[in-house]
Structure 1
Amino acid sequence: MPEQWLSVEEIASHLGVSKDTVYAWINKKKMPAHRIGRLWKFKITEVDHWVRSGGAADLGGKREQQK
């Protein structure tokens, strides 16, 4: 069975973060996401690999400042 595409809400729930965090990670940390029209969609295996490889890590011990 092919892997299902997840929405922003679903991937945020899977990771235990807010939708705003997901959008920030897409823009600032190159979170693997695919734009389909106006929607962002995710493959859970790609996102899990990205997290395990340190993609979501807060480097430098400082919080990123929002602009």
Structure 2
Amino acid sequence: MNEQILTLKEVAEYLKLTEKTAYRLAADKKLPGFKVGGSWRFRKEDLEKWIEAQKDI
């Protein structure tokens, strides 16, 4: 399994956002993520698909 899981902080850095903005987007279900024990986690593959989908908007 070669799946990379990112934390909220890592996603914020990856997308060049503040952590607060990344958290808000995740909480509003605008970023593809899931919670583990109350903390947000994100699959890098899902984020890359989400980025591609944003180009079509």
- TM-score exceeds 0.5: yes
| Band the TM-score falls in, shorter-chain normalisation | 0.7 to 0.9
Partner of 2:40: 40
The structure whose residues are more often strand, as a share, is: 2
- Bigger relative contact order, structure 1 or 2, given CA contacts below 8 A and separation 6+? 2
Higher helix proportion: 2
> Structure 1: which 4+ aligned runs deviate by more than 2 Å?
27-30
TM-score by length of 1: 0.70
Structure 1: gaps spanning 5 or more residues: 58-67
Gaps of 5+ in 2: none
Q: Matched residue pairs, number?
A: 56
Query: What RMSD in Å do the two structures reach over aligned CA positions?
Result: 2.0
Larger radius of gyration: 1
